Structures are given as structure tokens and as C-alpha cells.
Amino acid sequence: MFFTRCKGERGRVAQVDIYEGGSPSLLRTSRTNNFEEYVNCLTVWYMEIVRVETVEGEICYGCEVGNQVFRLEGDLYGTFSQSDVLLQPVRRLAPVVPTAIYGIGLNYREHAAEVGAKLPEHPVVFMKSPTSVQHPNCPIILPRHLHSDQVDYECELAVVIGRDCKNVSAAEALDYVLGYTCGNDVSARDWQKFHGGGQWVKAKSFDSFCPLGPIVVTADRIPNPQILPIRTILNGQIRQESYTGDMIFSVAEIIAFLSGSTTLQAGTVILTGTPSGVGMASEPPRFLNPGDEVVVEITGIGSLKNPVKAEQ
């Protein structure tokens, strides 16, 4: 089943329109001024949000129900609903267009151990350019103009902020999450560690270095983001396999930290760190090559697949 999301704030009436899964027929409308009841309702009815290009060449948001995609109407970061208009997608795009992309380094205990780093006292923050976003099934491009021979994969849980927030506590942080998707924090290790004194932002912001998708699962389906199995599969071989409970800083703690004296705009994407098994820590190191295929899988969200090719 799924729902029409309406704005709900503490002390205000919230409306939830309930639909039958796989059908655009409205079953009932519920109203409540009990915010906790509203939140509990939303943990049952959720959406799988996609962004697609249609056969007519239009780019739009949709709600995926089984093998069908219905047009999403309204504001993704406000009030939105599933319409009864059935779309004909020809291409699946990254499910959101980020207003900003934050990354968290060294946020899995086993990953910190494999690279010989101490556990950080605070989240290690970097940013990626929004132009680094890549669509599902589209290639990760190995840089050849500003050359890199050490391009690495990093499976990550990506968090999409649903409304502006600032100075939120960890206890309330998840209230600001629209949903979750799969992310790959592709990184040029030679630029990150050696060239020019270490270039974290540049190393992680080359075109195509932030694949996202294939869907955004609304937060109602994942009330606890710290229990999700996550892995990377490279050419059919599992290279990373862990679960989000190994995070040093939880999703809620990351949002609280990032929002401290800083506005996180709706549409912000947060990459929450990668588990152990990255290519640079392998023996011998295993970096991406043209012809490779990388798959990021997160249970409850889906699989994000990207081929690899060299820049022309």
C-alpha cells in the first residue's frame, strides 16, 4: 500500500490519503491532530519515488508500484501525491537532483580499521559537486584529461533531506528525512591522497562520481536506518559486505552534526560512509578499470548498477 504525503507538524492536523497497492483508487482519507499517530500511520504506507524520462521526452517524478510508474504531483519537498496518470518511462534517472551533497569519511568501524585510522571524535565531512551525480545504468567515467589510475568504489546509504533544517537534535533528526537511496561515493585515490597535497573534494567530484538510485524509499518504510545490509559487487564478486549498524555516527547523529549552525536545504543528499572492502585496502589494491560493472545493493532499497568506461 502507499499514501499521499501531506505536510504534518506537531500540533497541526495531518491528512493521509490511503490507496490500495497497485491501484490508483482512493480507499479512505484519515485526519488526525495526534502527530505520533500520524507518524505511526506513515510507517505502514510508503512510496518508492523515481525520476524518469518518458517516451515523450519529459523528465518527471513518479511513484513506482510493481511494474508501473504513476506520475507524482505536487512538491517533492512539501505536499505531493500519486496521480492516476500512468507514465511510459524510457530511462531511469537519479531519483533526486541534489541541492548539495555531503559525504562522511571513516564512518564504519571496520573501514577505519582496514585503513589504519583512529576512530574520529566527530563526523569527518567533505562535499561533492552536484555535477558528479550519475544515473543508474550509466557509466562511471575514469578521468583521463586530469588523469587518475586509482578510481575506487564505495557503497553508501544515501539520505535525502525532505525539508530545511538547522540546529536539529539527533532525537528529531529523522523527522527531516524524505527517504533513502543507494549511493556510490566514487573516489580517485591518487588525487585524494597524493596529488596537490590531497584533494578530497576534487577526488570525489569528477563527473559521474556520485551514482544514485534506483529509487528513493520514503523514510516511513525505514524507521531505523541502522539495520540495513549493504554491499558492493564488482563483476559479480562481492567486494564489500556489512550493515549500517557498523556506523560510528548514526544517520540521526550525522544530520544533527551537519545542521549545527548550518542550514541543510531540502534536497540535500548525505552519503553516510562506506564499510570495509574498498579497492585501495585490498591486497593487491583493486581499482576500477574500463569494462567493469559495479553494483551497490542495500536491502530494502534496491540495486544501483553502473558500468565503467574511460573518458574519451
Give the tens place of pLDDT for each residue, 203-220: 999 999 999 999 999 999
For position 42, what pLDDT does the model report? Answer: 39
Q: Give the end of a domain, one of 75, 93, 111.
A: 93
Query: Cell 577505519 belongs to which residue?
Result: 112
Q: 119: domain range?
A: 101-310
225 prior amide bond cis, ω within 30: no
Mean pLDDT for the chain overall = 88
pLDDT digits (tens, 9 = 90+) for 13-44: 344 444 344 333 333 334 444 444 444 443 34
Q: Are 143 and 9 contained in the same domain? A: no
Is residue 78 within 8 A of residue 85, CB to CB? The reply is no
Residue ranges of alpha helices (H) inside the chain are 35-42, 109-114, 170-173, 189-193, 200-203, 251-258
For position 28, what pLDDT does the model report? Answer: 36
Q: Are 208 and 130 contained in the same domain? A: yes
Q: Give the end of a domain, one of 72, 93, 114.
A: 93
Spatial CA neighbour of 154 closest among 126, 179, 121, 174: 126
Number of domains within the chain: 2
* pLDDT of 182 over the 70 cut: yes
Q: Give the end of a domain, one of 93, 117, 143.
A: 93
Q: Are 53 and 148 contained in the same domain? A: no
* pLDDT of 102 over the 50 cut: yes
